[in-house]
Chains A and B, each alone.
Chain A
Amino acid sequence: MAYYPEPVARLIDALQKLPGIGPKTAQRLTFFLLKRPTEEVTALSEAIARVKAQIVNCSICFNVTEEDPCQICSDPARDARLLCVVEEPNDLLAMERTGQYRGRYHVLLGVLSPLDGIGPEDLRVRELLARLEGQPADEVILATNPNVEGEATAIYLAKLLKSLAPRVTRIARGLPVGGDLEYADEVTLGKALEGRREMG
């Protein structure tokens, strides 16, 4: 990066550290920012600094929040006997968008991944167990992703939670709404059949 002035090289280097951003994209973003008005770029840098300074993890559910405990954990209208376990705060937002869930959450801040060497001690599993010991739930919903890492996490948690919750459930897997049956692969279709339910 000898061709660039030092601040430009530094920004390209910083942007490259973001997920999914390679050297070319980092360079393009840097030159895009150089062309934008000063106030717009200042607003962006302030927003980045503020999010880091003001956002913390909720000490109960580990969701990202401005105040601790978060709005969901401190909402008395939420059903405290229903707990949904998700991988990341993004998954919590996706669940909230359904508008159908009125219980509380626990964010693991990751997922078990044998190939990446990410084990239970790297997630908020111990905190989940302590939480359930102190505040029992009637049902724990395991809402991890339906991939190998999410499945491993769900299987592992189901084993651990057997003695702590009377009901441990897993979100359904199968066909996406609007999808075509003929294009579904055998594993997805098998899961959809496995999770079928009675109508009427």
Chain B
Amino acid sequence: MPLRKTQAVVIGRMALGESDRLVTFYARDCGKVRGVAKGARRPRSRFGSGLELFTQGQLLFFETERSDLARVDSFDILHSFQSVRENLERLMYGSWAVECLGRLSADRDPNPALYGLLLRTLKALETPCRPPRAAFCFALRAVDLLGHRLRLDRCLKCGTPSPFGSKSGRLDFTAGGLVCEPCATYGSDGVDLSGLAVGGLRRLRTLSWDEALRAVLPPALEVEMAGVLEAQMARLIGQVPRTTRFRTQARRALGVNGGSP
């Protein structure tokens, strides 16, 4: 049973048995790791509040031969991201980001860049920046890092450079990028995209993280671009993220309007 030590962030958790917890971590050196934390639900557990969602810590775990699940030995808090958990809007967008990450990444597939992106996103959610923008920037970069980057510079079929003047294009998820209006197949697996949104997405890709968080965008354009990323995430995951359903319900009940993600 080899012992591993790495930095990790808690991206999911569920009750297991009488007092244990099944915790999903995204670790810097190991990628997604699912492990059992024995007795973690007891009030005097040695894990304390360390296994709460978004907590970054030093993870010590044993690989077990009989199961894919690791045995969590300890998780010492490095940064709790408590303020993200204690604000409903930040929690909703942070949860959306970790759900997408958890569902799109395979177990034990290390991706330090993705780990760094997750930390940057959680840190952004702690600042006064708008939570939807932080989640949006996360999604835009995460799909690239996971190898699902969509081609936006020209039509995939005829090669016409984008944006296509006054005409809109269609983002074809199966084809893996943008197609111009004449080339778009009716009913294809994708979403319509205005020229402005194509330009906006390309611009946000090239900006640094801090610049992308601060970039001023017309609200309607931001909603359109966020909708595209939400659709791409749903396509990649195979269903609409659960956190999206939660957000829709919470907004309806609180009478808040807003775009996705």
Interface residues, chain A, CB within 8 Å of chain B? 19-20, 112-122, 125, 147-148, 151-152, 155-156, 159-160, 176, 178-179, 183-188, 190
Contacts and interface: CB of A to CB of B under 8 A. Distances in A.
Given A115-B12, A155-B88, A186-B80, A160 B253 contact: yes
Contacts of B245: 117, 119
Contact of B16 (A20, A147, A186): A20
Interface stretch (B41-49, B166-174, B211-219): B41-49
B250 A115 contact: no
Contact of B49 (A121, A125, A178, A188): A188
A156 B251 CA distance: 10
Contacts of B29: none
A117 B243 contact: yes
Contact of A121 (B50, B52, B253): B253
Nearest to A22: B17
A176 B82 CA distance: 20
A159 B54 CA distance: 23
A178 B16 CA distance: 26
Interface residues of B, number: 38
B91 A114 contact: yes
15 contacts: A19-B15, A113-B246, A115-B12, A115-B53, A117-B245, A119-B248, A121-B253, A125-B253, A148-B52, A148-B85, A156-B254, A160-B254, A183-B46, A187-B48, A190-B82
A159 B255 CA distance: 11
B18 to A, nearest CB: 7
Contacts of B142: none
B88 A116 contact: no
Given A114-B246, A148-B53, A185-B77, 15 more contacts: A19-B15, A20-B18, A113-B246, A115-B99, A117-B242, A119-B245, A119-B253, A125-B253, A147-B52, A148-B91, A160-B254, A185-B49, A187-B48, A187-B80, A190-B82
B249 interface: yes
Nearest to A148: B53
B23 to A, nearest CB: 12
A184 B246 contact: no
B45 to A, nearest CB: 10
B247 interface: yes
A188 B44 CA distance: 11
B52 A120 contact: no
Contacts of B250: 112, 119-120, 156
B91 A152 contact: yes
A22 to B, nearest CB: 9
Nearest to B254: A159
Nearest to B95: A114
A197 to B, nearest CB: 20
A20 B52 contact: no
A187 B52 CA distance: 10
B243 A115 contact: yes
B92 interface: yes
Q: Which 9 A-B pairs have the closest CB atoms?
A: A119-B249, A117-B242, A185-B48, A114-B95, A187-B49, A20-B17, A117-B245, A114-B246, A120-B253
Interface string B15-45: 1111000000000000000000000000110
A183 B99 CA distance: 31
Contacts of B86: 151, 155
A179 B46 CA distance: 11
B44 A156 contact: no
Contacts of A125: 253
A6 B94 CA distance: 48
Nearest to A120: B253
B98 interface: yes
Given A125-B253, A179-B44, A118 B88 contact: no
